[in-house]
Each structure stands twice: as C-alpha cells, then as structure tokens.
Chains A and B, each alone.
Chain A
Amino acid sequence: MSLIVKDLIVDHGAIRAISGVSFTVETGKLSAVIGANGAGKSTLLRTLSGLNKAAEGTAHWGEHNLLHGKPESHVRSGVSHVSEGKSVVAELTVEENLDLGALWRRNKKEAAETKQQVIELFPRLGERLSQRADTLSGGERQMLAIGRALMSKPNLLLLDEPSLGLAPLVIEQIFQTIRGIVDSMGMTVVLVEQNAMGALKIADTAVVLNLGSVATSGSAADLIADPAVRAAYLGY
C-alpha cells in the first residue's frame, strides 16, 4: 500500500491553491511536505482527508480513493488527519478527546487496548485524563491531537504543523515521537511543516511545495544537502 497523488489541482474559489501536484509515499515511510506560508501545504492535507474538494487529479491510499467521500469515511478506511492548530475539542476532557477518535469502532475491547497504547506513548495524557483539553499546555494538546488520531487506528497519518507555536525542546520531543510512531507501528506519515529543518531531519522523503506546485522532491537526506533547498528553506 502506498499513497499516490497524481496531478492534483485544488481551487479556493477563484484562487488556485494547488496546481498539479504529484508525489508518492511508500508504506511505513515518513514524508515531509515543506514550503513557505501559502505554498498550499495545509490545503494539500485537507484535500487528502476530504475536508477540501479537489478540482482535478487523483489521490489514492492503496485501493482507497481519497478524493471521494467525506472525512468521516476516510477515517474509517485508516486515514487520520491532525489538522493545523492543535486539533482537539477544547471543551471536552482529555479522555473524551481520546474516546472521540474510537467512537466509530465496533470492537470496544480493541479500542480500549489502543487507548492503553496511546497512554503509554504519551504518559502525560494518562495523568490528565479527566482534565479539560483547554487546560493543557501547547505540547500536551499536540500530543492529545496525535493521540486522538491514533485512536482511530490509522495506517496513514496526516499531520499538519505539529510544531506550530511550541517551544524548541517540545518540538524536538514531538518530532521524535512521530519518528517513533513510524518505526514502531509501521505507520505511514505525511508531515506538513513550516519548520523545514526539523521535519527533514526525521523524514525519509520530502516534497518541497512552492506556490502550489512541487518545487523539488526526493530523499530527505538529499534535500538537506541540496544548496538550493538550503538557501530557500533552511536559511543557510
């Protein structure tokens, strides 16, 4: 199973946000999507999870057509999206936020096991189960958002700027956790990041978006070494 996006075009009203993007992510790999503000990174993820509609092109996760159907049905097919800006429900407790991701799952015993795994992955959440989500720190909220996504037992995880607004130390921790999820669970991850260096360091492959098109793509190691990428996105 792999994620294959071909010639994807997405419009925001009269504005073309994504103009002909193609890339592939192999199973069990972590792919970073980097680029400046307004490059279309979030739009790309929102289209893959069904929140935005594509104008043209195709996107498949294995057999599953990502451009067809609502976000809630994609989740049920193993695609979880953590949207930008700490995607948790502030008014609910930590535990309710986690449970939310597994409500649709029929097998409650398995769902309870997943919850146990998520709490092992993020022990801080385990200590705060009955607290309201809006009492958490930024880093904890991001952990909760990822935890909620994992509760849906995905095999493709779409992460939108998990580092946004976090302290450098916390960012480091979140990035390591994401890498860990890929390595230990065999998860496939698309990581959209403004923090290009941090993302490239943990990624296997990367796509650089510029004004809605792919500027360059390849292995993360090659991109870090690419002088053009370094100058434009890594700042040295």
Chain B
Amino acid sequence: MIQFFNMLLIGIGAGSIYALMAIAMVLVWRSTRVINFAQAGMALLSTYIGFELVQKTGNFWIALPLAMVLGALFSALVEILLIRTLIKHSTSGPVAGIVPIIATLGLLGLIRACIGMIWGNQDIQIQPPLSKVGFKIGEETIALSPMNLLVLLAVLGMVVILGFIFQKTSLGLSLRASAYSPEIAQLAGIRVGAIRTIGWAIAGAAGAAAGLLQTVNGTGAVSPDSLEFSLLLTFGFIAAVIGGLESLPGAVLGAVVLGLVLAVVQIYISGTLVFIVAFALLLLVLLVRPQGFIGVKAGRRA
C-alpha cells in the first residue's frame, strides 16, 4: 500500500517537472512550428545563472524568478536573432522546413560548450532550500519531502497562472489565435511577430523553472554534460508529443502519465528499463493515437 502511494508521489513529482519542459516545447512548437532541442541547453544555462543568483542573493526563492526572467530574455533573443532569420531565408530546398530545427540542435551543443568554458566541466552544487527528508505518516517515511511538495506546488502554480493567461487575457487570446491561424490573426491586427517572440519567452521561463527545480529536487549537482538535462529534454519531448504537441493541458497530462508509467516501471520492475519504456510509450501513442491524448485529427485548420 505504502509502496503504491510512494509510486504515485514519485510519478507525479517527476511528471510535474517534465510538464514544465513539455509546456516549453509546446509553446515553441505552437508559435513557430519548431521543435526546440536547445530547450535543454537553455534550461541548463538558466540553471547555471540560477546557481550564480543563489550565490549572490543567498535565497533560492529570489533566484528562481530572476533566473526565469533571464531565461525568458535569452529565449526571446534566440527567436529574434536566429529562428526568425532562418525561417525567413530557408524557404526552398529539400531541408527548408527543418533548418530551424537542425539549428536548435547546433545551439544545444554550443550552449553546453560555452557553459563548459565559463563555469568549467566539473559539477556545481546548488543547495536545496528545504529539507529533502520525506514526511512521516506514522512510522513510515513517504516519498514526499518538503522540497518535493514545494516543487509540486510551484509547478501547479505556474500551470494555473499560464492557464489563466492563455484562457482569460488578451495576450493569451493573441497567443492562441497566432498559433492556430497566423494569417487570420494578422488580418485581425495582431502583431504576430511579437507574439511569436513572447511565446518563446514564456517557453524560456518555463524551461528555466524546469531546470532549477529539477536540480534542487534531485542531487543538486549540475555539469555541462549533465545526464539529468538530457533526460529532461527527452522526457519533456515525449510528454509533449504524447500530449498532442498542440495543447498545454495535453502537455501536462502527457507529462503526468509519463511520470507515473516510469514510476511504476522503476518501483515494480527495474530502473534500467525506464528509457526503453519511455520510448515504447512514445511509439505506442504514435501508432495508436498519433494526434496525442488531446489533439484533433487532421483538418483542424478547416
């Protein structure tokens, strides 16, 4: 019983961080039709910046929002300086449509190399702001520490705020209209170019939060070749795809399902199977329901 309960906690906890990453990927996909493989690199950079900010301010809860703002700025710059130009100029040739996507792969390598040059290749360590000892229910220690709980609440808060922005504000309406139908949005007077940049900026903030929260929730150690960030990219991407790639609720649902499935595998079968199962789940969803959990079949632009 307690094992099952722990499995749920671990699954939802991991899933919540994948959700932030998946949200970032969905936002970028919706605003520019680019899969941003550099998202992990951007999150890593934001985490290093967060590390510096924790050193300077001594307070993780000040460093986190600041790192998110800087992550947003960096992401917006990438869109303005790199992606926008590539989309404009790569209009012909066999690889035209995927040039920006290939560029994000290059950017991922570039960011990691730059981080290595600036901070070195050894681990840096970010102190967790809260205890990582699990709460106790009676005699049993459960797989939920104050740190885990805060991460969960922080992610939940961000998802709620994002949901509010998207559904209830003018900016959200602009973002949705530009994603679904850029031409009609333009004809309605929306500055689609600026809205794209804002989409990237929000993605950068979500990615920064994913990177920092994952780090303090895990070992606290980060290096430029951190395996955790490769996993974050892979699992965030899988979550976004099985969620439908177009939908923010889909991304969250995909991430939680992925987190739970991986937790089941880890606890009841074997930790070594996690990767295999994650990709098997991706393939299964693509085969059975290619539009994802929340996605509309072809013809959605009717």
Contacts and interface: CB of A to CB of B under 8 A. Distances in A.
Interface stretch (A22-30, A98-106, A171-179, A220-228): A98-106
Contacts of A90: 180-181, 300-302
A152 B186 CA distance: 12
Interface string A77-96: 00011110001111110001
A72 B186 CA distance: 5
B300 A92 contact: no
A16 interface: no
Contacts of B267: none
A91 B180 contact: yes
Given A100-B173, A103-B170, A103-B173, A83 B187 contact: yes
Interface in A51-66: 51
Given A89-B177, A103-B173, A103-B174, A83 B184 contact: yes
A162 to B, nearest CB: 14
A75 interface: yes
Q: Which of B184, B187, B190 has the most CB of A within 10 A?
A: B187
Nearest to B246: A91
| Contact-size category for A | 20 to 34
Contact of A87 (B170, B187, B191, B300): B187
A76 B189 CA distance: 6
Contact of A72 (B180, B190, B301): B190
Secondary structure at the B interface, as helix, strand, loop or mixed, is: helix
Given A89-B180, A90-B302, A92-B180, A72 B173 contact: no
Contact of B191 (A72, A89, A91, A96): A72
A75 B180 contact: no
Contacts of A80: 187
B52 interface: no
Interface in B161-186: 170, 173-174, 176-177, 180-181, 183-186
B180 A103 contact: no
Contacts of B188: 75, 100-101, 103, 148, 151-152
Contacts of A91: 176, 180, 300
A88 B180 CA distance: 10
B184 A87 contact: yes
A134 interface: yes
A56 to B, nearest CB: 22
Nearest to A152: B189
Contacts of B300: 90-91
| Contact-size category for B | 20 to 34
Contacts of A81: 187
B185 A89 contact: yes
B258 interface: no
A149 B184 CA distance: 10
A52 B20 CA distance: 38
A80 B300 CA distance: 25
A5 B282 CA distance: 55
Interface in A141-160: 148-149, 151-152
Contacts of B176: 89, 91-92, 96
A71 interface: yes
Interface string B137-179: 0000000000000000000000000000000001001101100
B192 interface: yes
Given A83-B183, A83-B184, A103-B170, A92 B177 contact: yes
Q: Which of A92, A100, A151 has the most CB of B within 10 A?
A: A100
A100 B190 CA distance: 8
21 contacts: A51-B186, A70-B186, A70-B191, A76-B189, A83-B187, A87-B187, A89-B176, A89-B181, A89-B184, A90-B181, A92-B177, A96-B176, A100-B173, A100-B185, A100-B188, A100-B190, A101-B189, A103-B170, A103-B189, A104-B189, A134-B302
Given A72-B190, A75-B189, A104-B189, 8 more contacts: A51-B187, A72-B186, A72-B189, A82-B187, A89-B184, A92-B173, A96-B176, A100-B185
Sorted nearest first, the 6 A-B pairs with minimum C-beta distance are: A75-B189, A104-B189, A71-B186, A100-B188, A89-B181, A91-B180
